[in-house]
C-alpha cells in the first residue's frame, strides 16, 4: 500500500469508483483510512480521514468521533447512548462527551418517531 498525495486523491477516487453517493462510512484501522462503499467494497489507504473528508460534500457526512465519518443518509438509528447503526448493520460509538448532540441529530433525522413506531409494531 502506498501513500497518495492530495493532488492524486480525486483521481484515486475516480479510479475506484468512489463518490459521495456510494460511500457508507470512513474509519481508521491499523494506521490506514478505510472507505466502505455501499456495494460492500472496502478501500484502505494511507491518507488522513480529514483529507478524504475535505473532498466530500460537508452536508452529507458527519464526523461522529475521532477517525469515524458516516454518511448521514445511511444512518438507520442513533441510540440514546450515541451508537450509530448504519444501513449495512455496522455500528459505531459516537463521541461520549457530546451525547446531547447525538440525541439532537436523532430527533432532527426523525429516528425517535421511527423507533416508537417499531416498538408499537413489535407489541402487536
Sheet containing strand 32-37, strands side by side: 42-45, 32-37, 23-29, 68-71, 61-65
pLDDT tens digits, the chain, 124 residues: what are they? 455 555 588 888 999 999 999 999 999 999 999 999 999 999 999 999 999 999 899 999 999 999 999 999 999 999 888 999 999 999 999 988 776 777 777 777 776 545 544 444 544 4
> Are 32 and 45 in contact, with CB atoms under 8 Å apart?
yes
Q: Which domains does the chain have, with CATH numbers?
A: 6-123 (2.40.50.1020)
* Range 101-109 contact pairs with CB under 8 angstroms and sequence separation of 24 or more: 102/64, 102/78, 103/78, 105/62, 105/78, 106/77, 106/78, 109/72, 109/75, 109/78
For cell 460511500, name the residue: 23
Amino acid at each position: 500500500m502506498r501513500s497518495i498525495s492530495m493532488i492524486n486523491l480525486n483521481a484515486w477516487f475516480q479510479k475506484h469508483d468512489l463518490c459521495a453517493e456510494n460511500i457508507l462510512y470512513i474509519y481508521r484501522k491499523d494506521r490506514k483510512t478505510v472507505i466502505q462503499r455501499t456495494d460492500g467494497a472496502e478501500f484502505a489507504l494511507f491518507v488522513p480521514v480529514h483529507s478524504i473528508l475535505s473532498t466530500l460534500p460537508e452536508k452529507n457526512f458527519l464526523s461522529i468521533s475521532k477517525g469515524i465519518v458516516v454518511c448521514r443518509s445511511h444512518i438507520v438509528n442513533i441510540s440514546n447512548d450515541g451508537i450509530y447503526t448504519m444501513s449495512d448493520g455496522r455500528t459505531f460509538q459516537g463521541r461520549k462527551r457530546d451525547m446531547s448532540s447525538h440525541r439532537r441529530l436523532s430527533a432532527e433525522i426523525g429516528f425517535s418517531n421511527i423507533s416508537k413506531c417499531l416498538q408499537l409494531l413489535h407489541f402487536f
